[in-house]
Amino acid sequence: METQAVPETEVLEKTSEEKRNEVLANRYRYPEKILGMMDKNMETVDFVYDYLEKRGHVYTSQLDLDKDIKPGEIPLLIQWDERWGYGQYGENIVATSGCGPTCMAMVIAGLTGNTTVTPYTLAVYSEEHGYLTDDGNTIWSFITEGGKEFGVQGQTISLNEETVTETLMEGNPIICSVGPGDFTDNGHFIVLVGCKDGKIKVNDPYSYANSEKLWEFEVLQPQIKNLWKMSKYETDETNLFEKHVFLE
């Protein structure tokens, strides 16, 4: 008797809308901040959908040279990337509260080439060294002082178009603390990474869409609460942070 191969069964991937509806049908199982991610940004649907299975887990201890890093550029890293977004940061997780560590990870990778420092690595460092407040915010001194352990430093600069443009043209990224507006309802960190056609390129750790746009300085200016020129920090005493992050 001739045998036949078992026919392959096509597995249909659920659409974003189907995943969203499934999450909402079980919303009592999700923290409000996780549900809020999906309400604010539909790009996060897959992350929210996988939350119950993956919460508390970290899936990498370094950046991907092929995926994340391009020589001479400040990479775009996303705080709700499933590789590190489920990791704890105080009472919250990197995905909801880790914009500061994620921005710093972009700058460290771009300026130093160090791929062993992820948003989660920096979240751990920030929390252990007192840069995380009780209400889950990363304090500004993390930008100026916290990065020195990893070979970068931040210096406050003036919020004017000439200074911002010159800083970016010199190859120095700028981390900004922003208030309510295009990027957040409360507080958030973003990175200005370059200029093109008289506009500014932004790496927003919460949004691919915002990161694909070019922004007029006049649009960004009223939203920026403070900004820091980021550069290499090199001394004989610089001791890059080394910590084993155990994958779960």
Q: Is 166 exposed, middle or buried (0-12, 13-18, 19+ CB in 10 A)?
A: middle
Gap between the Cα atoms of 38 and 212, Å rounded:
20
Query: Cα 115–48–186 angle (5° rounding)?
Result: 80
pLDDT in tens, 45-94: 999 999 999 999 999 999 998 888 888 899 999 999 999 999 999 999 99
The arithmetic mean of pLDDT across residues 105-121, rounded, is: 96
Confidence of residue 13 (pLDDT cuts 50, 70, 90): confident
The structure tokens listed for 84 are: 């590190």
The arithmetic mean of pLDDT across residues 146-162, rounded, is: 96
pLDDT in tens, 155-212: 999 999 999 999 999 999 999 999 999 999 999 999 999 999 999 999 999 999 999 9
Asked if residue 82 lies in contact with residue 47, where contact means CB atoms within 8 angstroms, the answer is: yes
Domain ranges within the chain, ordered by starting residue: 16-54, 88-232
pLDDT above 70 (res 150): yes
Asked: is 88-232 a CATH 3.40.50.2300 domain? The reply is no
Nearest to 154 by CA among 234, 235, 233, 230: 230
Confidence of residue 30 (pLDDT cuts 50, 70, 90): very high
Asked if residue 205 lies in contact with residue 78, where contact means CB atoms within 8 angstroms, the answer is: yes
Asked if residue 63 lies in contact with residue 150, where contact means CB atoms within 8 angstroms, the answer is: no
Nearest to 76 by CA among 186, 176, 188, 212: 212
pTM of the model: 0.89
User: Rounded mean pLDDT of the chain?
Assistant: 91
Q: What is the pLDDT of residue 248?
A: 35
